Each structure stands twice: as structure tokens, then as C-alpha cells.
């Protein structure tokens, strides 16, 4: 949460909130939901703070406004940063959760956490995801004491949503800028562009950072259709039980082993001590990460 410590006096009076997101479309990085709230009596003052749809503002201006609202004691804010791995995992799990539902759940979570802080929310303005009226009804059923206004382009209509848009956008930009790549393989680069599928720099980065077995780095939302074009040369993986592996005819097993040797694995059985001492015969992925083979647990 952006507001910590003792709850300000104004939070116990009727308050309004705006909710918006940043990073819904990119194939790289997190999606961020942000909210901004203040006393309803502060609404007129809020409209004078030059908040606008974050997409219409230059990065320097967004950063400036974000720093200003952080120090404004009449404003509260919060964010929900959704990791790209979480996005893909939810969208590809057996019982799939689509992006709209993920977005709805994030917005609902922000409202719930703010209420739990003790803020007296009476009105919430939301930039819609999907049908505005259905979304409004859904929110109203969960929080019947709050009046919800759900609209397209709400970030350009309501200053409180414009403020939330800035919170979300700056948070995502900083997260992407400061992203620490988990992978330590050679030739890992950070020049991935904007992260949007149509960005030539992003396309080039994806093409140069795919792995035939392990796919993409964790920065990538691998459930996005954009990634399919880069998966044509991926190695086919067949999952079988240990029992089936033991009963596997030698010919079939060796055929698969040859297939793996083409991408860096070895079929030669060697002592683990020898393998760990010189690193030869192992996939570069494991060598780069200094992963050791354990024979005893």
C-alpha cells in the first residue's frame, strides 16, 4: 500500500477512489493495477493537480506528478503488481483464468484492502475491462454500500482515475526499468524495448532470448499469442511416469536420447563427480546457473 502508518482523519469521512491499470497489452513485464483515493470534499482540489490519462503525458511529467502525489497528505494510493509468470500460469492452468477476470480480481482486491485499512469509501470510479454495466453490477454485488461508476476512458473523464493511471503507469515503468533478470546465461541483454508485441526491438529480443527446451526468461508472458511464432523450433517434451520409462524399449529410448543430444545434452553416463568438476557434457543452461547433479538427498 502506498499509504502507511496512522490513518488520516479525512479517511473516516466519505471518500472517493479511482482505479486503472498499466501494462495490459505488453508481452513483457508485469501488469500493474493502481488506485488513488481521497476525501470526497477534496474532489475539486484534485481536479487542479494536472492529473491526466498517463498515456497522454510524457514520462518526465508522470514521474513528477507521481512524486507530488506521494507527498500529498490528502491523497492515498496503492498498487497491485502482477508478475508475468503469474499472468501466464493463471491463463494456462487447467481451469483457466482469463485476463479480464485477473483484472477484475485485482481491482476488487484494491477496494477490499482499502476498506480494511478503515477508509470510508462511498464512490469508486473504474476504467472498464469488458462490458461496463456487467462490471459495475459485479462490483456492486460484492460491495453493496459503495456507488460504482464504470466507464470506458475513465482515466480521461475523472481526475481520481487519472491519478490512479499515473500511479499504475509509473510503477510499471519503474518495475520494468529495474527488472533483475533471474537468468544468468551468457548473452542475456536488457534492450527489450517497450515490451509491446509490435515493437521491433521487443521482437528482436524475444527471438534472441528463446531456448529450445526452457522457453523464455521469466520476464516474458509466455501465454501471449505473440510467443507462439517463436516456439516452432522448440523441442517436443513427452511426459511419462517412471514406471513407463523403465519399461521403455531400448530403441525408442535411444531415439529420444539422440533428439536431446542435438540441443546440448549428452547420453554418456558419467560419474557425477566428473561432471561437476569439469562441467562438460551438460547443457549450457545448467552450467550458466551452476546447477549441480545430486545423487543423494
Which residue has 545430486 as its cell numbers?
Answer: 294
**Which one, of 162, 124, 154, 152, lies nearest residue 48 by Cα?**
162
Q: Per DSSP, what are the bridge partners of residue 127?
A: 151
CA-to-CA separations, 225 to 102, 115, 230, 291, in angstroms, rounded = 17, 37, 10, 31
Q: Is 49 helix (H, G, I), strand (E, B) or coil?
A: coil
> pLDDT per residue over 105-117, tens digit each?
999 999 999 999 9
**Long-range contacts made by residues 197-206, C-beta under 8 angstroms, separation at least 24?**
197/25, 197/26, 197/27, 197/224, 197/226, 202/26, 202/27, 202/28, 205/28, 206/27, 206/230
Measured CA to CA, the distance from residue 29 to residue 83 in angstroms comes to 7
Sign of CA dihedral 191, 195, 200, 205: positive
DSSP H or E run through 15: strand 15-22
pLDDT tens by residue, the chain, 297 residues = 454 457 899 999 999 999 999 999 999 999 999 999 999 999 999 999 988 877 888 999 999 999 999 999 999 999 999 999 999 999 988 899 999 999 999 999 999 999 999 999 999 999 999 999 999 999 999 999 999 999 999 999 999 999 999 999 999 999 998 888 877 666 777 788 888 888 899 888 888 887 777 778 889 888 877 777 777 777 776 766 544 555 555 545 444 444 544 544 544 454 544 444 455 556 666 666 667 777 665
Q: What is the pLDDT of residue 191?
A: 82
Please report, in range form, the residues annotated as the binding site for a divalent metal cation: 20-21, 127
Q: Is 95 helix (H, G, I), strand (E, B) or coil?
A: coil
Task: Tell me the helix, strand and coil percentages in the chain, rounded to 5.
Answer: 45, 15, 40
Q: Per DSSP, what are the bridge partners of residue 32?
A: 22, 81
- Burial (CB count within 10 angstroms: exposed 0-12, middle 13-18, buried 19+), residue 287: middle
Measured CA to CA, the distance from residue 182 to residue 23 in angstroms comes to 20
Q: Write down the H helix ranges in the chain.
A: 43-46, 59-71, 84-92, 99-117, 132-142, 154-157, 159-177, 200-208, 242-247, 250-261, 272-278, 284-288
Q: What is the pLDDT of residue 94?
A: 86
Please report, in range form, the residues annotated as the binding site: 20-21, 127
Measured CA to CA, the distance from residue 169 to residue 156 in angstroms comes to 14
Q: Per DSSP, what are the bridge partners of residue 119?
A: none
Q: What is the pLDDT of residue 253?
A: 47
Measured CA to CA, the distance from residue 192 to residue 200 in angstroms comes to 9
C-alpha cell at 62: 508522470
Q: Is 220 helix (H, G, I), strand (E, B) or coil?
A: strand
Q: Per DSSP, what are the bridge partners of residue 190?
A: none
- Contact (CB, 8 A) for 17 and 34: no
Amino acid at each position: 500500500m502506498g499509504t502507511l502508518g496512522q490513518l488520516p482523519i479525512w479517511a473516516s469521512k466519505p471518500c472517493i477512489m479511482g482505479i486503472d491499470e498499466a501494462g495490459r497489452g505488453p508481452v513483457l513485464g508485469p501488469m500493474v493495477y493502481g488506485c488513488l483515493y481521497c476525501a470526497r470534499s477534496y474532489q475539486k482540489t484534485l481536479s487542479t493537480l494536472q492529473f491526466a490519462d498517463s498515456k497522454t503525458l510524457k514520462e518526465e511529467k508522470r514521474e513528477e506528478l507521481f512524486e507530488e502525489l506521494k507527498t500529498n497528505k490528502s491523497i492515498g494510493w496503492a498498487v497491485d503488481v502482477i508478475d508475468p509468470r503469474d499472468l501466464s500460469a493463471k491463463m494456462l492452468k487447467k481451469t483457466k483464468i482469463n485476463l479480464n477476470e485477473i483484472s477484475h480480481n485485482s481491482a476488487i482486491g484494491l477496494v477490499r484492502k482499502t476498506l480494511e485499512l478503515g477508509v470510508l469509501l462511498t464512490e469508486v470510479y473504474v476504467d472498464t475491462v469488458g462490458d461496463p454495466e456487467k462490471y459495475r453490477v459485479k462490483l456492486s454485488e460484492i460491495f453493496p454500500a459503495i456507488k460504482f461508476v464504470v466507464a470506458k476512458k475513465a482515466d480521461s473523464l475523472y481526475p481520481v482515475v487519472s491519478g490512479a493511471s499515473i500511479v499504475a503507469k509509473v510503477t510499471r515503468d519503474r518495475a520494468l526499468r529495474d527488472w533483475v533478470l533471474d537468468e544468468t546465461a551468457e548473452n542475456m541483454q536488457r534492450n527489450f524495448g517497450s515490451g509491446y508485441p509490435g515493437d521491433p526491438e521487443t521482437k528482436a529480443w524475444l527471438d534472441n532470448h528463446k531456448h529450445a527446451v526452457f522457453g523464455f526468461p521469466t520476464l516474458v508472458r509466455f501465454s501471449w499469442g505473440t510467443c507462439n511464432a517463436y516456439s516452432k523450433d522448440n523441442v517436443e517434451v513427452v511426459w511419462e511416469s517412471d514406471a513407463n520409462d523403465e519399461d521403455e524399449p531400448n530403441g525408442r529410448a535411444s531415439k529420444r536420447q539422440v533428439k536431446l543430444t542435438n540441443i546440448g545434452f549428452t547420453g554418456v553416463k558419467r560419474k557425477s563427480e566428473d561432471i561437476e568438476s569439469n562441467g562438460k557434457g551438460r547443457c549450457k543452461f545448467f552450467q550458466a546457473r551452476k546447477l549441480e547433479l545430486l545423487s543423494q538427498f
